[in-house]
Amino acid sequence: MTIDPRTRIGHVHLTVSDLDRSLAFYRDVLGFEVTARYGRDAVFVSAGGYHHHIGLNTWAGRGAPRPPAGTTGLYHFAILFPDRAALAATVRRVIEKGIPLEGASDHGVSEAIYLRDPDGNGIELYRDRPESEWPRGPDGSIQMHTRPLDLQALLA
């Protein structure tokens, strides 16, 4: 038995320690729009007017500490951009705002940039290549890899 292939992953909710700081990152750096607020405890942001792609909340408590490194939890969540130009525009903004990049990878099927939000949540900014360009083995299986991404070419 397999999951219905039309199934998609929807939104993500993140516990943050400082709502205003996180909102400044997701709105002013990544470019999401505020769609709703839930009092002083949560704000919801989206791309293109959807009800929300990301929920930011302080329900665990304002000033909550980051989880210690090397523990279980969210490794990262991924934000899919419609094309290379849209990905590059956001990556430029991230760099201009002084947000450090943790990595830039060519996975064959996609190009991905890795960074962290102010609370240490891992984020992958990526774009998929057209399926016709995906590397495949002799049996037709997808042959993903991790190689350095030419960041300068992306930003050119």
What is the average pLDDT value for the chain, to the nearest integer?
93
At 45-81, the pLDDT tens digits run 999 989 899 999 999 888 888 888 888 888 899 999 9
Pairing of strands 12-15, 54-57: parallel
**Which domains are seen in the chain, by residue range?**
10-62 (3.10.180.10), 75-156 (3.10.180.10)
Check whether 14 has a pLDDT greater than 90: yes
Q: What's the CA angle centered on 133, arms 129 and 138, to 5 degrees?
A: 135
| CB distance 34 to 28 below 8 Å | no
**Which range among 60-64, 129-133, 150-154 shows the weakest confidence by mean pLDDT?**
60-64
58-62 long-range Cβ contacts below 8 angstroms, 24+ apart: 58/15, 58/16, 58/17, 58/18, 58/19, 59/15, 60/15, 62/17, 62/18, 62/19
Spatial distance between the Cα atoms of 52 and 11, rounded to a whole number of angstroms? 7
pLDDT for res 72? 84
Q: Find the Cα–Cα–Cα–Cα dihedral 104, 106, 109, 111, rounded to 10°.
A: 40
Q: What's the token pair of residue 134?
A: 């995906």
Residue range 98-123: average pLDDT? 96
Nearest Cα residue to 122 out of 112, 110, 111: 112
